[in-house]
Structure 1
């Protein structure tokens, strides 16, 4: 049954990329399969890759709640998502039949019913290292975990203690961060680079990740999906700052090394905590799309859609003109993927949800 659900979800995602085939799929049946396997909701932790607008409530420049962000969102408005449309976690939630978006936990318009289907505690510009978040005055993971505890309290008030624990046991917790730890912290600021070699810093970040997962487990989580970091050296901003036309290999090597350490630690946590874990290889997903753009519907992979596409993101993207068709661009701004790329990432995240995680 679990394998059937996994295959069905993969079919659904392929249809998100090729909508003309959608009429042949029984969406209702797919969602029934998810329900039978007790996947209750999605709870999200991380950075701008999964923040739907929590930073809107913070005094920080790391926001995306202004045009042209949200240009292709459901109602054409900016929400705080660093994309022209939805994020990967939104597409995953839609496939499972919960909602077509995952709301921000701090959204003032959030409804009680939203708590039953999932929320995001993520904060753009955050990372596994608390210092990373402090540099931009955003929520570190420790603060995101405090909001997770608040969520748990609200859930108990809504459905009772027993049902709340049931929901948490069946929830998929998604962690997506790490990019800022390298790009905004280690490679830019002197503090960590003076304290650690690059390999030591990778090990430090992995230890932070493990501590966070242990705390999630203590609070009731039993299924955790960790998303790796993309090929950092291929981001338009990095190539511009390093004055390179091709991907910066040293940055990509750091990303690949860090990802391998994440996978090793997850294998250990799976045994020590009796936790169900999965690793989502975003590095490979982005790399495949860059190497085979036509196969994924892209015509531009070297720059973003906003402004010049080489350096603008967040505040520097405010009010700028954009490309005519963002769906043809792998990047939306000089750092973040387009909505179309997030669809592809979401498909690969679902592919990482193996039988051990879903049972």
Structure 2
């Protein structure tokens, strides 16, 4: 009898899981963060001065589309400029590495929550910030991972308070492995230490928020730190030939489709476009990785499903057994 129950349970489980293994059908995407996710806000604010064309693609801090655009495409959506608040130079707080008039993450969140007292519960909300908090180190400021994580927690809480339900939160890649550190091992080690502290604190904070916030709130973590580490350690798996240097070098890149000009690099073979920002090839990987996180979040916990199935199948089989006993 127990074997029959187990066999029936596994059969039903195999039928149910594929139906669940698809990302949520979202109506729109709201984006908050820095230059990793900025699709033109800083560019438009500075009348096309930052980031400059044609070195950078259409206001993106890369040589092509960025990760949120690749993710949106997989969700059969497009990034709406009116719902992308990400701004180049933003920190997790109110500061910006650019001019004081440029917003940080908190201004972005406040702008959204002020204008949207009832957020769309069928939208995906993305929060990715922190890099500029630690790059402040190069401006003789002392970064504080505890404060940065607290800022991110405040942003998530504010979004949840107005009705956001699915909130994607991206951690930090290892900044100590970025070209910006150059050959300065002391800076590289320090930035790696800050990154580790940031990510550890973020995990603890997200776990706490998952318990504290409404059960309707679905926090979707994206471990981009793992993705970058994997790409750096196994470049060939991702089609890269250079995962340590900036493709641009110290001067603008000459497009490789102009044969009369010297070729400085082949962008798709590089992890980094400049000293801080990824190439569009890397952004495509990040977008796919984030989509996988959504797929994972949409699949129910195996233990919970199994418990329900076993209980249901057990009830059916036991009821049948009772009927057989009554018949005899």
* Superposition TM-score, scaled by structure 2 size: 0.75
From the superposition, tell whether residues 124 and 347 of structure 1 become closer, same or farther in structure 2 (CA, over 3 Å): same
8 Å contact from structure 2 (residues 44, 59) kept in 1? no
Is 1:120 the counterpart of 2:84? The answer is yes
Is 1:293 the counterpart of 2:235? The answer is yes
- SS at structure 2 position matched to 1:45: strand
8 Å contact from structure 1 (residues 6, 350) kept in 2? no
Partner of 1:181: 133
Partner of 2:177: 234
Aligned length: 276
Partner of 1:115: none
| Aligned-CA RMSD value | 2.9
Tell me how far 1:59 sits from its aligned partner: 4.5
Alignment of 1:71-90 (within 5 A): 79-90=58-69
Residue segments in structure 1 that go unaligned for 5+ positions in a row:
8-32, 71-78, 106-118, 154-163
- SS at structure 2 position matched to 1:301: strand
Partner of 1:268: 208
Alignment of 1:97-246 (within 5 A): 97-99=76-78, 102-105=79-82, 119-133=83-97, 137-149=101-113, 152=116, 168-183=120-135, 185-190=136-141, 193=142, 201-240=144-183, 242=184, 244=185
Partner of 2:314: none
Distance 1:47 1:340 in 2: 19
Residue segments in structure 2 that go unaligned for 5+ positions in a row:
1-14, 256-263, 301-328
- After superposition, give the CA deviation of every residue in 1:10-30 in whole Å (9 maximum; x if it has no partner): xxxxxxxxxxxxxxxxxxxxx
- After superposition, give the CA deviation of every residue in 1:273-323 in whole Å (9 maximum; x if it has no partner): 1221021111111111011111100011121221x2xxx5xxxx5x55363
8 Å contact from structure 1 (residues 278, 353) kept in 2? yes
- After superposition, give the CA deviation of every residue in 1:51-81 in whole Å (9 maximum; x if it has no partner): 00111233599822411212xxxxxxxx211
Distance 2:220 2:273 in 1: 27
Alignment of 1:20-99 (within 5 A): 34=23, 37-59=24-46, 63-70=50-57, 79-99=58-78
Is 1:302 the counterpart of 2:279? The answer is no
- After superposition, give the CA deviation of every residue in 1:314-335 in whole Å (9 maximum; x if it has no partner): xxx5x55363421111111111
Distance 1:289 1:2 in 2: 34
8 Å contact from structure 1 (residues 233, 239) kept in 2? no
From the superposition, tell whether residues 67 and 151 of structure 1 become closer, same or farther in structure 2 (CA, over 3 Å): farther
- After superposition, give the CA deviation of every residue in 1:64-101 in whole Å (9 maximum; x if it has no partner): 2411212xxxxxxxx211011111110110001112xx
Moved more, 291-300 or 269-278: 269-278
Partner of 1:329: 270
* Superposition TM-score, scaled by structure 1 size: 0.69
Is 1:353 the counterpart of 2:304? The answer is no
From the superposition, tell whether residues 349 and 5 of structure 1 become closer, same or farther in structure 2 (CA, over 3 Å): farther
From the superposition, tell whether residues 3 and 42 of structure 1 become closer, same or farther in structure 2 (CA, over 3 Å): farther
- SS at structure 1 position matched to 2:294: coil
8 Å contact from structure 1 (residues 176, 228) kept in 2? yes
Tell me how far 1:40 sits from its aligned partner: 2.4
Distance 2:128 2:299 in 1: 19
